[in-house]
Amino acid sequence: MQAFRFDLCELPGETKGLRDDVRAFLEKELANVPAVTRAQTWSGSDLEFSRKMGAKGWIAMTWPKKYGGHERSAFDRYVVLEEMLAAGAPVGAHWIGDRQSGPLLMRFGTEEQRRKILPRVAKGECYFCIGMSEPDSGSDLAATRTRAEKVEGGYKVNGTKLWTSGAHTAHYMIGLFRTHLDPQNKHAGLTQFLVDMKTTEGITVRPIKDLAGKSHFNEVVFQDAFVPDDMMVGTEGGGWNQVTAELAFERSGPERYLSSFILMVEMIRELEKRGGAEGAREIGRLVAHLVTLRQMSLSVAGMLDKGENPALEASVVKDLGAIFEQDMPVRAHELLGLEPTVGAGSDYEQVLGYLTQTTPSFSLRGGTREILRGIIARGLGLR
Amino acid sequence: MNELQKILADSVNGLLAERVTKDLIQKAEDGAWPQALWNELEANGLPRVLAPEAQGGAGGTWADAAIVLKAAGRHVAPLPLAEAVLAHWLLAQAGLAAPDGVLTVMEGDFALAGGKLSGTAPRVPWGRNAAHGVALVGAEVVLAPLAGAAIAQDINVAREPRDAVTLKDAAVQSASVTLPKNALRLYGALIRACQMAGALDYLAEQTVAYANERTQFGKPIGKFQAIQQQLAVLATQAAAAGIAADHACASLNKGDAAFEIAVAKIRADDASSIATSIAHQVHGAIGFTYEHGLHFATRRLWSWRAEFGAGAEWAESLGRETISRGADALWPYVTAR
């Protein structure tokens, strides 16, 4: 049994110059951004910042030039991503298009779709949201009910998508709709579509407040929304396989273990003042986990660079990464005991206030802990 | 792994799988010394994987050594293979010729004067069986014959010999070399981290295999989600310990690896606590018997996680260094390693 493999992967030496450039850029851009804002990392969004990143050539880094990309290596991209996340840059607006929807279109989209959309994504001007979950379809994605019914020249879409992050700012949704119902095989009959969120009639986006009172995600209701034929992505009925491939991208990056990193930095800042063995032990442990997760994440990046399919390894990193991220506010609380705050308080207290409330989502988004462990168990030959 | 490393992995795992039988481990735990197995390991050059070719070694890297050390842990080989690998490397670093025979390392309080070594090492692995021990005194690597040493026998929880070795004015060979602070504890932590990674891989495989065999309520228990979720955790912990150990070995090839070794020992310690608990829970009562071999791995993990510094000890020093570098230095430091 060797269910999964994590080979060491060292970043090429030539990535160092790029890393220095990114750091210099971030130092300037984020100079006056408070820690609690930086703690949002890839949930935070700033359209101006996204455009600047596009101008720097730090979006769509690995894509072909003809689609506005920069034909850089997967490692260059990795370096930019991890620097952005560690610094807490507001990369949320372009994040999904860069990570997930762009690569999906590259793989399954039509030439026309790619030429029309990808260069704008690369410039940091065009944003995506993902229409997967529904009121009755969360972990059980194949239970998707939103229907796309064939009509003259396209499809008529009816149904509701839920928890759709960024639907209120996105130019496009990649929606997973049911084009055919076979009660015996619910994985069949699912199809992905590009939906123009700005011009399509019959779409209502309603913000949903999260427990902290913020509205990142939405309910998206389709009522006889017309989607033209040329907006289908990939093949009719091929949605399930395409989504599975897409999720490997979604689960593989450094964002899956760095979401609480800003709190770790602020914990150390507090401990610089306090000293003590207990705090040192806690930080040492967190450093050990951080460094190990980074090596695992790099290993996945290495597999992606070689064109291998690290879907299983990505699930491992996401599961361990979420544990690490969710443990952070707990460790912080036990160690320092200060009250989490909103609005006022020190950087540490505010970051703790933000992350204490946010971390429950880390083992839900992009596949719940239980789903990931089910995937791992399948890899172990148990299912 | 490159091709040569694959061959090395196949050969060392093949040899140990065949020779380290349950019977052999049980006899070793009852106090027998497996001399024939030691001879075979020596004949295959395994203790000398890191020794230079000029000294009859394999001239390997720490990545090669990791393969041997993980195999030693995976098969719970009841002899000081890991210690000998380290001892040979230290001797080679100092340019000292390595003797034949059983070799171990001695972490203790020694004084060296005029070529004579005095002092005590409290828990020397297989001190009673070793012909020579390697100690560090200041910047000196010391090779001490143990024929005249006073040995007070003891064992660890895994019933591996951990003997107090006392030397008085023992004639030794020594040579100075530049090594990091507390080098024997540091490199001892590395060999244990590698062994633990190997033992954790074994635990994951063995526990998955058992879950696929053991039937309750009319189906293998591995078909129950409650068990599957636990096994997924066990396997991910083993994977984390494995790459942390590999990372430390790769770093040592390049130079200073004190940071990565501390990371590896802490991570292996944490993984062991989680993994041993799951492995026993899934095995149920049978895994709690001496008859079943699961405990050969779990008891070693319980000992090894504390030997050469528990995770907490390494975490404290790693944490102190991190805090003293300052909050904003954390990320640049991690990415520059």
Mean pLDDT, rounded, for A159-188? 96
A79 lies in the same domain as A28: yes
Residues of A in contact with B245 (CB under 8 A): none
Confidence grade of residue B122 (pLDDT, cut at 50, 70, 90): very high
For residue A39, the domain's CATH number is 1.10.540.10
Total structural domains within chain A: 3
End residue of a domain, out of B176, B192, B218 = B176
How close A135 comes to chain B (CA, Å)? Answer: 24
Same domain (yes/no): A137, A86: no
Same domain, B117 and B136: yes
- Residues of chain A neighbouring B250 (CB-CB closer than 8 A): 8, 10
Is the domain of B25 the same as that of B151? yes
Q: Of the candidates A95, A127, A159, which is a domain's last residue?
A: A127
Residue A54, token pair as written in the block: 């596009």
pLDDT at A379 over 60: yes
Better-scored residue on pLDDT, A249 or A246 = A246
Domain contains A6: no
Q: Which domain-ending residue is among B158, B176, B194?
A: B176
* Range A104-132 average pLDDT: 97
CATH number for position A231: 2.40.110.10
pLDDT given at position A50:
98
d(CA A319, CA B110): 46
Report yes or no on A4 lying in a domain.
Answer: no
pLDDT digits (tens, 9 = 90+) for B31-77: 999 999 999 999 999 999 999 998 889 999 999 999 999 999 999 99
Instruction: Give the domain CATH number at B195.
Output: 1.20.140.10
| pLDDT band with cut points at 50, 70 and 90 for residue B177 | very high
Q: Please write the tens of the pLDDT for every residue from A198-208.
A: 999 999 999 99
Do residues B160 and B24 share a domain?
A: yes
* Chain B residue closest in CA terms to A78: B335
Q: Which tens digit of pLDDT belongs to each residue from A267-285?
A: 999 999 999 999 999 999 9
Quick one: closest CA in A to B259, which residue? A288
How many domains is chain B built from?
A: 2
CA distance A100 to A130: 9
| B331 and B243 both lie in a single domain | yes
- Judged against a pLDDT cut of 60, whether residue A88 lies above it is answered with yes
B167 CA: distance to closest CA in chain A (Å): 35
Is the pLDDT at A257 greater than 70, yes or no? yes
Question: What pLDDT shows up at residue A209?
Answer: 96
Residue B14 and residue B103 in one domain: yes
Q: Which two tokens stand for residue A192?
A: 């992905």
- State what percent of residues in chain A have pLDDT above 90: 91
Per-residue pLDDT band at A76 (split at 50, 70, 90): very high
Domain that holds residue B216: 183-336
Question: Same domain, yes or no, for B17 and B94?
Answer: yes
| Domain C-terminal end among A127, A143, A166 | A127
* pLDDT at B13 (0 to 100): 98
pLDDT in tens, B144-171: 999 999 999 999 999 999 999 999 999 9
Phi-psi region of A75 (alpha: psi -120 to 50; beta: other; left: phi over 0): alpha
Predicted confidence (pLDDT) at residue A1 exceeds the cutoff of 60: no
Query: Looking at A82, A83, A250, A270, which residue is catalytic?
Result: A250
pLDDT tens digit sequence for A14-32: 999 999 999 999 999 999 9
At B154 the three-state DSSP class reads coil
Q: Are residues A139 and A168 in the same domain?
A: yes
- Inform me whether the C-beta atom of residue B235 falls under 8 Å from chain A C-beta atoms: yes
- How does pLDDT run across B124-147, given as a tens digit for each residue? 999 999 999 999 999 999 999 999
Q: Which has the closest alpha carbon to A108: A249, A269, A206, A210?
A: A249
- Predicted local distance difference test score (pLDDT) of residue A3: 81
User: What does the pLDDT average to over A98-121?
Assistant: 96
For chain B, percent of residues with pLDDT exceeding 70 = 100
Same domain, A355 and A273: yes
Q: Cβ–Cβ of B266/A285 closer than 8 Å?
A: yes
CATH, residue B86: 1.10.540.10
The percent helix, strand, coil of chain B (3-state, each to 5) is 60, 15, 25
Asked if residue A7 is part of any domain, the answer here is no
- Average pLDDT of the residues of chain B: 97
Spatial contact of B300 and B81, defined as CB atoms under 8 Å apart: no
- Checking if the pLDDT of A249 tops 80, the result is no
Phi, psi of B242 (to 5 degrees): -65, -45
B205 has a chain A CB within 8 A of its CB: yes
Q: Residue with structure tokens 């083992």?
A: A363
Between A247 and A66, where is the model more confident?
A: A66
A72: three-class secondary structure by DSSP: coil
Domain boundary among A222, A238, A254: A238
Confidence of residue A245 (pLDDT cuts 50, 70, 90): confident
Angle between helices A15-29 and A47-56 (to 10 degrees): 150
Is A59 inside any structural domain?
yes
Same domain, B159 and B260: no
State residue A308's pLDDT score: 87
Strand partners, A128: A172
pLDDT in tens, A29-65: 999 999 999 999 889 999 999 999 999 999 999 999 9
Q: How far is CA A224 from CA A161, A232, A377, B179, B277, in A?
A: 14, 17, 41, 73, 55
Where do runs of H (alpha helix) occur along chain A?
15-29, 35-38, 47-56, 74-87, 92-96, 102-108, 111-122, 239-250, 261-274, 277-305, 311-336, 347-358, 369-379
The tens digit of pLDDT for each residue in B242-295 reads 999 999 999 999 999 999 999 999 999 999 999 999 999 999 999 999 999 999
Cα within 13 Å of Cα(B216), Cβ side: 10
Residue A309 is predicted with a pLDDT of 85
Gap between the Cα atoms of A325 and A150, Å rounded: 44
A364 and A259 in a single domain? The answer is yes
Indicate if A231 and A252 belong to the same structural domain: no
Q: Is A250 in the active site?
A: yes
- Mean pLDDT for chain A overall: 95
Same domain, A321 and A196: no
ipTM above 0.90, yes or no: yes
| Touching B: A residues 67-86, CB under 8 Å | 82, 86
In the predicted model, what is the mean pLDDT of residues A76-101? 96
Q: Quick check: A2 pLDDT over 80? A: no
> Cβ distance B232 to A380 under 8 Å?
yes
Which structural domain, as residue segments, surrounds residue A155?
129-238
